[in-house]
C-alpha cells in the first residue's frame, strides 16, 4: 500500500532515545518489522535521509562495556541494570557509572524502572541522582508500559518521578515515552516539575500507515496531542525513535501530527540538544 508521508518535515532532528545493538538477533527482527536493518551503516543512512544529526543511545548494555563501539553520531546514557542494584554489586557499578560520566560521549544515566523491581526512591538509586547532579548530566527513566511481561508496572508509573524530581531539584529527569499510556499522570508531573522533561519515543511500534492509523486510533492520537498541549511546555518534549522499534520516516510524520508546527524545531532538535548535548 502507498504510505502517506507528508511533504513538510522538520529541518533538523536529534533522536533522543534509541537502542544500538548490532548483531543482536532480537533487535535484527524488530528492525526488519519496522522496514530497517539493524546495522550501523543502515542507521547512518536512515539518519541522513531523515535529517537526523545525532542520536542518544539509552545504554542498554552493561555499565562497563560497549560504548567504544558507538560511532561519533551517537552519544549514550550509562544504563543501570538490576545487576548494578544488587547490594554486592553496587559499589563497583557506581564506580563504573562515574567513569562513564567523565567520558564526553556519555550524556546521562538511564534507569530501567519497571524492568528493575526497585522503587525510584530506593537507597540503591540515590547515589546515581547525586552523581548526575555532580556531573550536571540528566537521568532518563523508563516510564510507562514495558516491552517485557516479566517487568512490573508499579515501578514505572510516571507519578514515581515526582518524588525523585522534588527531592533532587538540581537534577534534570527525562521521563521516557511520556509515561505512555498514563498520559494524564505524566502531564501532571511535567506541569509541576520544571526539572522533568519527556521523550516522545515508543508511542507506537513497527510500520504505520498514518491514514489508516488516524481512523483506527484517532482517539489515542487526540489524547497524546491533548496532554502534550496541556503541559504548555514545548521546551520539555523531545523526539525519540526507540530505534529499531519504528520506521524512522513514518514516526517523524507521526510526531509532526502531535506537535504544532511552530514547536517542531524545539521538540525535534533544540530540547534534546539542551538536555543531553549541552549538559556537563
* Binding positions for Zn ion, rule: CB under 5 A: 58, 242
Which CB atom, from 58 or from 156, has the smaller least distance to Zn ion? 58
Which CB atom, from 242 or from 250, has the smaller least distance to Zn ion? 242
Q: CB of residue 60 vs Zn ion: minimum separation in angstroms?
A: 7
Helix (H) or strand (E) run with residue 132 in it: helix 126-135
Q: CB of residue 19 vs Zn ion: minimum separation in angstroms?
A: 6
Q: Which residues contact 190 (CB under 8 A, 6 or more apart)?
A: 175, 196, 197, 198, 231, 233, 236
Residue 42 CA, chain-centre distance (Å), reads 20
Question: Which residue, 254, 248, 239, is CA-closest to 43?
Answer: 248
Residue 132 CA, chain-centre distance (Å), reads 17
Residue nearest to Zn ion (CB): 242
CB 111 within 8 Å of CB 140: yes
Helix 183-192 to helix 210-231 angle (10° resolution) is: 30
Q: CB of residue 245 vs Zn ion: minimum separation in angstroms?
A: 7
Q: Using DSSP, state whether 196 is helix, strand or coil.
A: strand
- Burial of 70 from C-beta contacts in 10 A (0-12 / 13-18 / 19+): middle
- Burial of 242 from C-beta contacts in 10 A (0-12 / 13-18 / 19+): buried
Q: CB of residue 91 vs Zn ion: minimum separation in angstroms?
A: 27
Give bridge partners of residue 113 from the DSSP assignment. Answer: 116
Q: CB of residue 36 vs Zn ion: minimum separation in angstroms?
A: 15
Q: CB of residue 230 vs Zn ion: minimum separation in angstroms?
A: 24
C-alpha cell read off for 269:
532538535
CB 241 within 8 Å of CB 16: no
Cis peptide before 50 (omega within 30 of 0): no
Q: Using DSSP, state whether 216 is helix, strand or coil.
A: helix
Supply the DSSP symbol for 206: B
Amino acid at each position: 500500500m502507498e504510505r502517506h508521508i507528508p511533504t513538510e518535515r522538520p529541518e533538523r532532528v536529534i533522536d533522543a532515545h534509541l537502542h544500538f545493538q548490532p548483531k543482536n538477533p532480537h533487535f535484527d527482527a524488530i528492525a526488519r518489522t519496522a522496514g530497517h536493518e539493524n546495522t550501523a551503516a543502515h542507521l547512518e543512512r536512515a539518519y541522513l535521509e531523515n535529517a537526523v544529526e545525532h542520536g542518544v543511545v539509552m545504554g542498554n548494555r552493561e555499565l562497563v562495556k560497549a560504548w567504544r563501539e558507538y560511532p561519533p553520531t551517537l552519544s549514550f546514557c550509562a544504563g543501570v541494570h538490576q545487576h548494578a542494584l544488587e547490594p554486592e554489586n553496587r559499589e563497583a557499578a557506581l564506580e563504573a557509572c562515574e567513569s562513564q560520566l567523565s567520558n564526553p560521549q556519555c550524556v546521562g544515566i538511564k534507569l530501567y524502572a519497571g524492568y528493575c523491581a526497585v522503587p525510584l526512591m530506593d537507597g540503591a538509586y540515590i547515589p546515581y541522582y547525586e552523581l548526575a547532579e555532580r556531573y550536571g548530566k540528566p537521568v532518563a527513566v523508563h516510564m510507562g508500559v514495558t516491552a517485557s511481561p516479566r517487568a512490573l508496572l508499579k515501578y514505572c508509573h510516571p507519578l514515581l518521578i515526582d518524588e525523585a524530581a522534588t527531592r533532587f531539584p538540581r537534577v534534570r529527569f527525562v521521563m521516557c515515552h511520556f509515561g505512555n499510556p498514563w498520559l494524564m499522570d505524566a502531564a501532571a508531573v511535567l506541569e509541576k516539575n520544571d526539572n522533568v522533561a519527556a521523550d516522545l519515543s515508543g508511542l507506537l511500534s513497527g510500520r504505520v500507515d498514518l491514514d489508516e492509523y488516524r481512523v483506527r486510533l484517532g482517539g489515542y492520537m487526540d489524547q497524546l496531542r491533548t496532554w502534550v498541549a496541556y503541559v504548555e511546555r514545548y521546551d520539555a518534549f523531545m523526539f525519540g525513535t526507540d530505534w529499531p522499534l519504528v520506521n524512522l520516516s513514518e514516526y517523524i510524520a507521526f510526531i509532526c501530527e502531535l506537535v504544532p508546527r511552530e514547536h517542531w524545531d524545539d521538540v525535534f532538535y533544540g530540547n534534546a540538544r539542551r538536555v543531553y548535548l549541552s549538559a556537563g
